Amino acid sequence: MTMHSAKLSVRGLITGMVGALAITASATGLQAMEQKPVQIITAGTGGSWFPTGATIADLANQSFDGQPVSVIPGAGAIGNIARVGVGKSDMGLSYGPFLKLAKEGGNDINPGEGYDDLRAILALNAYPFHFLVADSVGISSLDELKDIAGDINLASEVTGSSMHFIVQRMFENYGLPLDEIEKAGGSVQQLNTDGRKDAWQNGQVNMASFMFAPPHPVIIEQMRIRDSQIMGFTDEVLDQLTGELGFDVFELTSEHYPKQKAATKTVAMPTLLFGTADLDDELVYELVKNVANNKQRMVNAVGSLESWNPEDMVKGLGIEIHPGALKFYKEQGWID
């Protein structure tokens, strides 16, 4: 072989290798670009669910070209389930007990047929229900609600949210359905997080509900602005809510909120990311892996996640786990 032909052979080999690499890279990029775009539905932009969902989407997108995962605001835990259940969104944030009821169907969460293909993906930390009552109302227990119906000015969440569902059940269990408040001369406003904050600060309401992981700066600020206490449920009502719906019991104390005078018991549920069985296994696997390996990113987005541990992603899921997520959890030894 002549020197000239050898040079040509080497040049051809290099050209072939570069071409092969280009084809491989192109194929890899094409495969990622062809990943079906998916959407995570969260809650209003004023709460913690929207930044939670946005961070999860951003972490998932690190593994793919084309940013296939996007996030939108939503109506809340119950509304999100319905939207994913009928295929209008691909993933959403909700709570385990509600997902279980929605999958079963024929109940208050899902009166129709069950959404059989719902699948759990990961769990975050518990969100307890906070029911804030101004001292000016003059009650020391929720047992007294029925006696002051006309004096109640309540701020709840929008219909379709877990919070409004709990508020409805709470008042019913204390013998005061929400419509009776308005009949007695009181008021019930259904507002997003920012709306409830403003209504409380402006004195338009004397009771307000929130679902936050404690200690949450919104609650700290609300209690600083107005003399108030977080009121908890009696054991009887707790038994009804936990027994019927599968909620957990959570105790809020002065360690969470310095102005809270006495420990109080409420209900809580871990926030879950869920989807449907037909979600791409690789996408779900990469999403779960990237969230588990980037706790600090999650904490930077939502400070209350500081107490969350990635190993807890498998706890309280309530329904069948998506295969892509299950693969990662088994690799980590977090689940059998």
Q: Is the pLDDT of residue 31 over 80?
A: no
b/e per residue, 207-224, with b = 16+ CB within 10 A?
bbbbbbbbbbebbbebbe
Calpha distance 196→189 (Å, rounded): 9
CA quadruple 144, 147, 151, 156: dihedral sign: positive
Identify the architecture of domain 128-269 in CATH. Answer: 3-Layer(aba) Sandwich (3.40)
Of the pLDDT bands very low, low, confident and very high (cuts 50, 70, 90), residue 312 is very high
> What is the C-alpha to C-alpha distance for residues 73 and 157, in angstroms, rounded to an integer?
14
Per the CB < 8 A criterion, the answer to whether 212 and 48 are in contact is yes
- Considering the chain, tell me which residue range(s) the CATH 3.40.190.10 domain(s) occupy: 36-126+271-332, 128-269
pLDDT of residue 29: 39
Instruction: Report the pLDDT value the prediction gives residue 245, as an integer from 0 to 100.
Output: 77
Measure the CA angle with vertex 312, ends 310 and 313; round to 5°. Answer: 70
Q: Is the pLDDT of residue 18 over 60?
A: no
Asked if 134 contacts 321 with a C-beta cutoff of 8 angstroms, the reply is: no
pLDDT at 243: 82
**pTM value > 0.85:** no
Residue 110 has pLDDT above 60, yes or no: yes
CA angle 163, 166, 170 (to 5 degrees): 140
Question: Which of the pair, 304 or 273, is modelled with greater confidence?
Answer: 273
CB-hemisphere CA count at 13 Å for 127?
Answer: 23
Do residues 74 and 42 make contact, with C-beta atoms less than 8 angstroms apart?
yes
pLDDT single digits (tens) 167-205: 999 999 999 999 999 999 999 999 998 999 999 999 999
Longest dimension (CA), the chain: 105
CATH number of 36-126+271-332: 3.40.190.10
Q: What is the pLDDT of residue 34?
A: 56
Residue 32 reports pLDDT greater than 60: no
**pLDDT confidence bin for 16, thresholds 50/70/90:** very low
Q: CB-side exposure of 126: number of CA atoms within 13 Å?
A: 16
Contact at 8 Å (CB) between 36 and 70? no
pLDDT in tens, 228-256: 999 999 999 999 888 877 788 999 999 99
Q: How confident is the model at residue 300 (pLDDT cuts 50, 70, 90)?
A: very high
| pLDDT per position as a tens digit, 46-103 | 778 999 999 999 999 999 988 999 999 998 899 999 999 999 999 999 998 899 999 9
Please give the Cα distance from 214 to 109 (Å, whole number): 26
What pLDDT, on the 0 to 100 scale, is given for residue 313?
Answer: 96
Are 58 and 238 in contact by the 8 Å Cβ rule? The answer is no
Joined tokens for residue 209? 């509900």
The pLDDT assigned to 268 comes to 93
